[in-house]
Amino acid sequence: METMWAPWRSEYINNNNDTEKPNNICVFCDALTTTDDHERHIIYRGEYAFVILNKFPYNNGHMLVMPKRHISRPDMMTDQERYEIMNLIVKAQIVLYQVYNPHGVNIGANIGEAAGAGIAQHMHFHVLPRWNADANFMTTVANTRVIPESLDETWVKIRKAWN
């Protein structure tokens, strides 16, 4: 592996802390302000955490589990948040097996923009169903993923199974 010496980058890296951007509205915090769960595709509201469908799913049934508080890292969570989030992740997995009968489930988090988080300011866990060979020819050849079900249809199925 080659190493590139670039000390001028340290200023950019040290000043690019995106955990709080006061001029931006967090889409997750904003979703919690509504009372219409169907409109925002909120599956469940707990005391400390909630579950929402991913607006840009990798597969149908792709859910996000996160604290209600606007925090960016797991070490910022309280014990109550950690406990409730883990229970919601397990419940989401169970519901996915009931609704979609997948071959497996991905559960994970990208903490920070450098780790691949699309919305790094409000940490969240992904829970999504997977099937053997779910990367079909469209994904392989055309670099395009086909999502055959609308978010509204997904919300109805998962919400019914959740309750």
Q: Are 71 and 29 in contact (CB under 8 A)?
A: no
Residue 62 among the catalytic residues:
no
Q: Are 105 and 127 in contact (CB under 8 A)?
A: yes
Q: Find the catalytic residue in 41, 62, 124, 126.
A: 124
Q: Is 125 helix (H, G, I), strand (E, B) or coil?
A: strand
> What element of type H or E holds 155?
helix 151-162
Residue in this structure with the two tokens 């006061």, named with its chain if needed:
22
- Which DSSP state fits 94? H
Catalytic residues: 124
